[in-house]
Amino acid sequence: MRRRFTFKVIVVLVAIVISGHGEQSWADPSPVPPATVFLSRTDRILVPPGWNAPEMLYPRGRIDYRQVAGLLATAIRPFTGCDDPLKNPWREIATPQDKVGIQVDLREPPVAVETINAVIDALINSGVSQDNIIVYAGSEGELFRAGISVNPKGRGIRTMGSESEGFRSGLSRIVLDYCTVIVNVARLRADKDLGIRGCVTNCLATVPHVDRVRLLAHPTELPGPAAHPVLRRKTRLHILEAYQPVLEDSGEDFPPVWEYRGLLMSSDPVATDLIGLRILAAKQAATRQNSEVDAASAQAALQYLQAAGSERFRAGQSNPDEITLQVIGTTKAILVGTASGWKPDPRDG
């Protein structure tokens, strides 16, 4: 039986300028390639209210696993370019011989357990053994707070924190020694200091806590972990969960969210976060009265996302003219269709 996890339960149009730095770069000197981001959306993301989704246990509704699995399934084929219905597209992500680490964003509110389970199921169905799957976050404490049992040893799917497993040369041993493939799973959320958190910031889980604190205090340095050559080489897939994005970083136990019912997928964490920023900024502009707050929030995010795409880091594509968005599913209230610099994919019609 498979092991599954349970949890407790503007438009601001900014011209993105890639800025260079004279310091040492992790990346090779070749230009950052164009990026494609796949946005998969559905008309419904929650289990219908009733006995299996009581409001007492699920005050914001219960995420429907079948809908999540459907979003992943509809995005993974165009992402991998696997058109043959007889072939499993997840084989392009990991083979049965790979050891896969699922790097999860468990900052409150955490990614949905349904997303974690859907990724696990997809990997197992493609031939990856449960013994070769690790779910990890920055620390064991994050796992505990999210309601995930820590299980770093033994058979089956293992769960662990980077801090407990240790580091070598400033990078988690989970990345260096335990995994051959990494899937980065983050949640789209507003952040009062950074503007947005997503795939790039989720890579902070791979460095020691003291480095995380330092990088968060200096946003232009923040892309360092995402740009590390080992992490970049092993990370085959970035997923940005946008079922219920966090609209405001209010500090509450239940910060305001809205139902976007989407999932972003790409091989490029910077491009993915930029599309996420567009979505978040558009919704904030529609709900806020203070446009200066909107602009400041977007600029804070652009500060580190611009750095991520600079010559120093080359962690991903930060030029909107080099980012293609392919939309799969409903385009109702998509929020990014008229954004400056957004280049729709011709296949969207």
Domain range for 43 is: 36-343
Q: Is residue 232 part of a domain?
A: yes
- Residues pairing with 238 in the sheet: 184, 266
Which residues lie below 8 Å from residue 38, measured CB to CB, with a gap of 6+? 75, 78, 79, 264, 265, 266, 326, 328
Identify whether the C-beta of residue 188 lies closer than 8 Å to the C-beta of residue 242: yes
On whether residue 29 sits in a domain, the answer given is no
In-domain check, residue 313:
yes
Cβ pair 265, 37 in contact under 8 A: yes
pLDDT value of residue 57: 87
Strand, coil or helix: 3: coil
Tokens 């409150």, located at residue: 108
Kindly state whether residue 21 falls inside one of the protein's structural domains: no
Total tally of structural domains belonging to the chain: 1
| Segment 167-213, tens digit of pLDDT | 999 999 999 999 999 999 999 999 999 999 999 999 999 999 999 99
In a domain, 11, yes or no: no
| Residue 1 within a domain | no
Integer Cα distance of 296 and 291 in angstroms: 9
| Residue stretches of the chain with pLDDT short of 70 | 1-29, 289-296, 337-349
- Position 3 scores a pLDDT of 53
CA 99 vs. chain centroid, Å, equals 20
Provide the CATH number for the domain around residue 220: 3.40.50
pLDDT of residue 295: 65
Asked whether residue 245 is assigned to any structural domain, the reply reads: yes
pLDDT value at position 264?
Answer: 98
Through-space distance between the first and last CA atoms of the chain, rounded to whole angstroms: 43
pTM of the model: 0.89
Is residue 162 one of the residues assigned to a domain?
yes
pLDDT at 294: 57
50 and 61 in contact (C-beta within 8 Å)? no
DSSP 8-class letter at 52: T
Smallest CA-to-CA distance from 237 within 110, 98, 113 is with 98
